[in-house]
Structure 1
């Protein structure tokens, strides 16, 4: 019988943002996820959380986050309970504090995916159980674990990796990639038009972590400079949820920042990989894609279909790794 490796000793901790963790803790969660992935693929049971109950709170819709938390919970022996925005009174008829206290009496852990970072922080403050940030407008820590796990799987290490994020520099992905990368020893370059440069508060936070942990941060609008010698090219949608009215403006700003074959060749490396947190608008096989093509004559947005489907693209490994890394977090903070 296989002797199972124990989870990372983080019992009772919440995962609210990357900056709450040390370099060693964050990379340990990644390494443990790699172990759990091997158990999953070999069919080795790892039910560390028999009898536990987990609340999944979703203000925002989701494919990967909901599926990952659900399967991760079940694989670990826990029961996940989905609570959508129309299922509970969170912030409407009941305060976040009161909701947190109720859920904390019934559940062993709480996942929250929504808009406000203040809500997930309040849930953690008042529930008395571990709370995990499945995405807010400010941070996306569970995505970071999956992203950097995928990088480590492909290159064998994280320190010294050059990762270029190209697109909207003001969103939660840019914030999280900078801070998580800098604290893992990665050289993160944010490539975006000057009007979309990230808030200096997050840049400063990331650079402070880089000085301590070995990574670095560059913010530039120069594509050639940003992609040179990049091990990883990363992009995200040009228009985030709630910003649809800005679509035409954003397209005009970012059309030269599309990830295509020419840009991938500019890295000068043959081993460069492409990552995207998904969903990606790389073709017109969605209602949204068809609507954009009809309105603006664009069939491919932040990434071309050619790159998205190429051998360099690791986006579906990355999506699968959401489950393994979330499993690592749940197991480590509840056992």
Structure 2
């Protein structure tokens, strides 16, 4: 497994949930994982049922086997202050710039600068080592922007390195790209078994490959349980309506004791079966499309009880059982 795990996906596919579950899965057996949020939505805090994350690395969960998950919500303004202090030793002068609004102004008018700071902070956590020489974190998991923006987001340092030919900005950008375009990084795409998310996943993979960014795995989220297969569905279509009504009556559904009529239940039941058949066919087709992309494919179930902290641990277990560890 690469040490920097970047998780992207179309909005609504649950990429933040998958990133959090991945961080838990990687932290098992005594590992330390840092889960990084770059979009300022505080989605990680909500998933782990904790207070809003400050701009500092904070332990938010313990994984099975004693591993630890830390989280960091990166604030672009404070990251820029860190940057100014690191390379230019501005100290109080940098804080004065913040009070004057210059930091906010800079990150607002230059979106590329904002992305440089966000990716730079994550890559710094990947490279950081303790005095013993061991990496501070075994893995860093980044909850990245959606698929449509992730390639430009990750590749922005290439542009910056080209614009700034010398100096600390150039060297910082080059250092970030050395991490992002190395085997130390893997970019995973989260999708649903629906046409639009699958198409966006395919487009995103093509963009990442064109930019020479390392693509990792496809994770299909919120997969519904398979109730019937193609053979069973064909048999269901062939059963006469009278036979269905008779079976319902025999089972005590819609009979006289309930004041109903079994025949009234037949049409809604068959309509529901037809809708399931359409969805089953669509999902089968989309699995085929994803399979042609040539990447490891994983599936996470739709949790009937909804998403909570227990569900997050359940998804982490699913990922580990599927070989992500």
Common topology (TM > 0.5): no
TM-score (ref. length: structure 2): 0.31
Q: Name which one, 1 or 2, has greater alpha-carbon Rg.
A: 2
TM-score (ref. length: structure 1): 0.30
Larger relative helix fraction: 2
